[in-house]
Amino acid sequence: MTNRTLAADILGKLPLFRHTPPARLAEIARHARTEHVLRGAVIAQRGEKPRGLIAVAYGLVKLSLRGETEKVLRLVGPGETFAEAVLFLDKPLPVDAVALADTLLVVVKAAPLLALIDTDRGFARGLLASMSQRMHELVMDFEATTQHGARERLAGYLDSLAPAGIGDARVQLPASKTVIAARLGVTKETLSRLLRQMGDEGLIAMAKRDITLRDRARLAAAARGDRPA
Amino acid sequence: MTNRTLAADILGKLPLFRHTPPARLAEIARHARTEHVLRGAVIAQRGEKPRGLIAVAYGLVKLSLRGETEKVLRLVGPGETFAEAVLFLDKPLPVDAVALADTLLVVVKAAPLLALIDTDRGFARGLLASMSQRMHELVMDFEATTQHGARERLAGYLDSLAPAGIGDARVQLPASKTVIAARLGVTKETLSRLLRQMGDEGLIAMAKRDITLRDRARLAAAARGDRPA
DNA sequence: CGCCAGAATTGATCCAGAGCAAGGAACCGG
DNA sequence: CCGGTTCCTTGCTCTGGATCAATTCTGGCG
């Protein structure tokens, strides 16, 4: 399979292009290329000008703000895209992107996508919807960071990892605890202590990156800010 | 002037509709209405379903997250719009909207706008651009809140109020200090102390809501995190 | 003018979470 | 099986900014 048909294949599976006719998709793929990067590789850096829309075929990408303390804005997994927003702005990237695992990317140049907005109404709507979604998540995150304490954020995060349902649930952290901590906006030390504490309270059980939610009701309560009994 | 021609008139002045032909604009205005609200009035509350895209003709609207401590996400002034993102999501509003002054709003229902995306390519692009812009601002704000201390945020904010340039600049706070404090993510007490401190250092001079930036170089330095000499 | 409510200042205290330091524990290639 | 990373945990201390508690200032309005 050539690089381009591979790209077309991957792009076709994205929600964004779900309704785009194959002919147009092939056209888009002509301006796309796949890129394989190793764990730890820097995909893009803050300040650079974006190379285009980036989709993750497999692997995991970390988008983060780097100050003296790193804040992870989003973990981008298979089937997800990033850098949509900068496509339409003449601004440099505001975040760093680093591969957390061996990752296959598809990079699509901006120009053909801009054209696609005019010719494929489904795409325009899809893009709008996905950006709205992203925006909403960002606002929710903002709220979590500014309104809730570290314990509440962690409880909410853990709860969000498991599909709604009652009874024990087993979840797996999508990245190292250090990265999760930066995602939650705390230090790894604080995360470690909080996990420990929740373990002691019987809220969760932890084995490495695998966590069992032992009491989802109390976990949800903790996310709402209730202090332990 | 009727309510509708007024609405059309106001909408026509927005960047978003800058390139929309008058005929379409009139069509949109058929589904829009103006709304005059008094200072302090609640325009929309978190959890409600959005009534549509809202534009501010004159006045000032505060968008904020309400927990036990309020966080102001954005102050929306004349010529600006809000609630675009929720148009495309079937979700309740994530924020509260309150008028900070007597304000004239134009409320445009979602349906005709969705139709306009298909018929007016300029509009689709404009919408995408404005959402991207909003997104970018949100990320910058996020960065400020998570990466910088209160003093740096204030310095950056003050600096951003004045157009770039050297020498003394006079700016005016767009709202009460209490609101500005919530915008910056600090308490009014902390804001008061910081302003005082910057005054003592000769960085700024303050009279009520009017602030003179006395040393933009050092102000910019403070925004970057340099401690006072 | 004098009164009152909301806004701002100022001082004193408190605390969640950061920072620092020092081990453990799992994982890797050789 | 060893030696080196990289990741995680745990104890101690420190601090930015919140919180609590008075005043003081301000701008309407009768």
What pLDDT is stored for residue B20 in this prediction?
82
**Dihedral sign (CA B30, B32, B38, B42):** positive
Look at residues B164, B91, B85 and name the one whose alpha carbon lies nearest to residue B130: B85
pTM listed for this prediction = 0.90
Q: Which residues in A lie closer than 8 A to residue B145 (C-beta atoms)?
A: 142, 145-146
Please provide the DSSP assignment of B7-63 as one string: HHHHHHTSGGGTTS-HHHHHHHHHTEEEEEE-TT-EEE-TTSPP-SEEEEEES-EEE
pLDDT band, very low/low/confident/very high, at B229 (cuts 50, 70, 90): low
Instruction: Return chain A residues 167..226 having CB < 7 Å to nucleic acid strand D.
Output: 176-179, 188-189, 191-193, 195-196, 206, 209
Look at residues A209, A157, A140, A137 and name the one whose alpha carbon lies nearest to residue A178: A209
Q: Is A119 on the interface with B (CB under 8 A)?
A: no
Q: Kindly list the distances between the CA atom of residue A105 and the CA atoms of A6, A21, A78, in Å, as whole numbers in the listed order.
A: 11, 22, 9
Look at residues B191, B193, B192, B199 and name the one whose alpha carbon lies nearest to residue B219: B199
What pLDDT is stored for residue B228 in this prediction?
62
Look at residues A2, A109, A96 and name the one whose alpha carbon lies nearest to residue A54: A109
Which bases of chain C are under 7 A from a protein CB atom? 7-12, 16-21, 26-27
Which bases of chain D are under 7 A from a protein CB atom? 7-12, 16-21, 26-27
pLDDT digits (tens, 9 = 90+) for B124-175: 888 999 999 999 999 999 999 999 999 999 999 999 999 877 778 899 999 9
pLDDT digits (tens, 9 = 90+) for B71-102: 999 999 999 999 998 888 889 999 999 999 99
Structure tokens, A35:
């890129």
As a rounded value in angstroms, the CA-to-C1' distance for B226 and D17 is 18
Q: Tell me the residue length of chain B.
A: 229
Partner residue opposite A121 with nearest CB, options B88, B117, B133: B117
pLDDT, one tens digit for every residue, chain A (229 residues): 556 677 778 888 888 888 888 888 888 888 899 999 999 999 999 999 999 999 999 999 999 999 889 999 999 999 999 999 888 888 999 999 999 999 999 999 998 998 888 888 888 888 999 999 999 999 999 999 999 999 999 999 999 999 877 778 999 999 999 999 999 999 999 999 999 999 999 999 999 999 999 999 999 999 998 776 5
